Structure 1
Amino acid sequence: MTDDVRVLVADDQALLRGSFTFLIDHEPGMTVVGEAGTGHAAVATARAERPDVVLMDVRMPDLDGIEATRRICADPATAGVRVLILTMFDLDAYVYAALRAGASGFLLKTAPPADLLAAIRVVAAGEALLAPSVTRRLVDTFVRGSAAPRPAAAPLERLTDREREILMLIATGLSNAEIAEALHLTVATVKSHVSRLLTKLDARDRIRLVILAHEAGLV
């Protein structure tokens, strides 16, 4: 990515919001294009500015972060906007609902500044935010332990054998480089397969591919 990553900071605490904005604006290659202190403001600003990433607090006044995320991800006008959820708890039930709503991942508010900046870049690039071990733990809890009804299995009949194989490896939390090594492919070839998986399964990002694979019973 050659252009700056454009970020919208949505948090109801002015001090935190200002701290995030200061940090991001002083990072080369990033710029804050808006701030929001409520869920409704986050949705409206996302529609107006169309940032690359929305840094979204879970607990927002007037419209919580989950519903704000759902509206942003479902709106064709903000189809390219990715949402990074902020939470105080790594197994917060709200996080699972946010992922179901279309969020691209989550980050703890206690994370070091460098991790926040790295997470924004990862989400902006459409890659998986979570480390493999965390991905496996999160999705296992999310898919098998959630009380919410599970949707129908993804249309896996559209996939080639190679695409299905790569989807299974994605679901275990492997990176593109690790998949390439496991299957004796180039990273560029793996990236092409991942791109086709996203299109065929109508998935916004890699996190959604992981969830779909678990819902379909591939892992």
Structure 2
Amino acid sequence: MISEIKEFLATNVAAFASSIPPRKQTSGGGGVCGFLTGSVNPGNRNVKGTFWAEQSDAGGCQMPQGDYAVTDAIALGQSQALENLKWRQGLCGQVLRIDCGNGPIDAVVASTCNLNSDSCGVDMIGKTWRRATSNKSPGIVDCSVSLTNRNPLNGNDAICYYRPNSETNNNYYAILGVVNTGGRISSSAVAAGVTGRRNNDGWFEFNGSGSPKFQKNAEVVFRYEDGSSSSFQIGNCRNGGQVQIFR
């Protein structure tokens, strides 16, 4: 009797196992094909999306002129819905992924909107608004927002820039910033031993206090919130030209 039970179990368990379909294999990454994603943030939902203007302004983040791979742009606010993506200086020049119901769009943080207020989430330039909303009239839409590790400018390496419209040959004073950080958010900078000071943009202001410290061979080090850093010789920092206008 026992041998008959064993034979029954062996036969039927094998048949049951063979009837189970193989587990479907899934690819890693989860990104959108063609984009370097690796979102640091999984996405904040119910963020207010609004129409800004047909083009970005010359204030706010004051992005340098360059060969931009990402040409959609937003002004970023400090709405509570943004959570850890509420505007702070290091988010200038980062590429955020916004989805307002018409598919994801990558956009450069080019300016700020209504700081110290809960009234603004992401304010979009004209073409970005139309893509995000499928050509809706200007108004308010709900969006999800996440940080990507995509670079705004073509190229894979971090780039040091002088702030647009600032002096590039002053050994006593310099305004510098870093772009193309792969989603890393800059938090501090030191040039020739001088700690940079920030205003309401992404740039660091360095004052030599009467000493010509910022020679071309002096080093500037930008540190990021994740603990990593990028360093450059000041002579390799690029001229930012005029402020990049996204349109």
Q: Which TM-score band (shorter chain)?
A: under 0.3
Larger Rg: 2
TM (norm. structure 1) is 0.27
Kindly indicate whether structure 1 or structure 2 has the higher relative contact order, using CA contacts under 8 Å at least 6 residues apart.
2
Q: What's the TM-score, normalizing by structure 2?
A: 0.25
